């Protein structure tokens, strides 16, 4: 689902707005975001100066980055915050189950507060299928605090197979014009339309 977040990021940047992207799984690639800009856009690289990237290499660093977001967003007035792959760090075997659940609960509450108090769309990118019992618990914790879900499905495991987007709770669905990635999920803590993102 990263490509959708990248496209929405570009839409916000081209309007002169800032975007905060917290990378919890070391997956962000600014060159992919550059490719989302229209080919006729002369100052695509200049827009990236308003993309604020934070990268957490441990679950505690990730928690600290999320904790700082309200102050940072209050300065930039960003309409969009992307939290990419936060569960990855919580699956570290050096982190106990109780600690992982406690940190994820805290992060989820902070993101919900950020969305509500700052009128900011907060998008959390996660996998859809849990790979362990801990993963299942953590996904459920995020889902409970999410107001919307956007999932992508495809009919076959090839790059050219059709993808279908499904939004909940509205039930709206449709096809994205440039499908490329495997099935995954956005967890949205605030309404994208409220932030002017469509």
CB 148 within 8 A of CB 121: no
Strand partners, 55: 23
- Write the CATH number of the domain with boundaries 2-149+177-195: 3.40.50.300
What are the tens digits of pLDDT across the range 162-176?
Answer: 778 888 888 888 876
What are the tens digits of pLDDT across the range 14-37?
Answer: 999 999 999 988 888 888 999 999
Sequence spans of domains, the chain: 2-149+177-195
Task: Give the burial string for 32-53 (b: 16+ CB within 10 Å, else e).
Answer: ebeebbeeeeeebeebbebbbb
Question: In a structure prediction context, what are the per-residue pLDDT tens digits for the chain, which is 198 residues long?
Answer: 888 899 999 999 999 999 999 998 888 888 899 999 998 888 888 999 999 999 988 999 999 999 999 999 999 999 999 999 999 889 998 999 999 999 999 999 999 999 999 999 999 998 878 899 999 999 999 988 888 888 887 766 666 667 788 888 888 888 765 444 434 444 455 444 444 443
């Amino acid at each position: 689902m990263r490509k959708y977040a990248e496209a929405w990021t570009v839409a916000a940047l081209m309007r002169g707005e800032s975007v905060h992207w917290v990378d919890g799984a070391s997956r962000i690639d600014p060159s992919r975001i550059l490719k989302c800009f229209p080919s006729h856009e002369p100052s695509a690289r200049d827009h990236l100066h308003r993309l604020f990237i934070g990268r957490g290499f441990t679950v505690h660093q990730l928690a600290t980055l999320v904790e700082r977001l309200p102050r940072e967003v209050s300065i930039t007035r960003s309409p969009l915050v992307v939290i990419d792959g936060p569960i990855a760090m919580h699956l570290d075997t050096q982190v106990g189950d109780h600690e992982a659940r406690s940190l994820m609960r805290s992060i989820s509450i902070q993101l919900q507060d950020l969305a509500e108090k700052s009128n900011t769309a907060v998008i959390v990118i996660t996998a859809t299928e849990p790979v362990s019992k801990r993963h299942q618990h953590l996904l459920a914790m995020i889902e409970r605090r999410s107001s919307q879900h956007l999932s992508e499905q495809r009919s076959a495991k090839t790059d050219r197979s059709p993808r279908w987007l499904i939004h909940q709770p509205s039930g709206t669905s449709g096809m994205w014009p440039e499908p490329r990635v495997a099935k995954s999920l956005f967890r949205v803590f605030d309404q994208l339309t409220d932030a002017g993102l469509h």
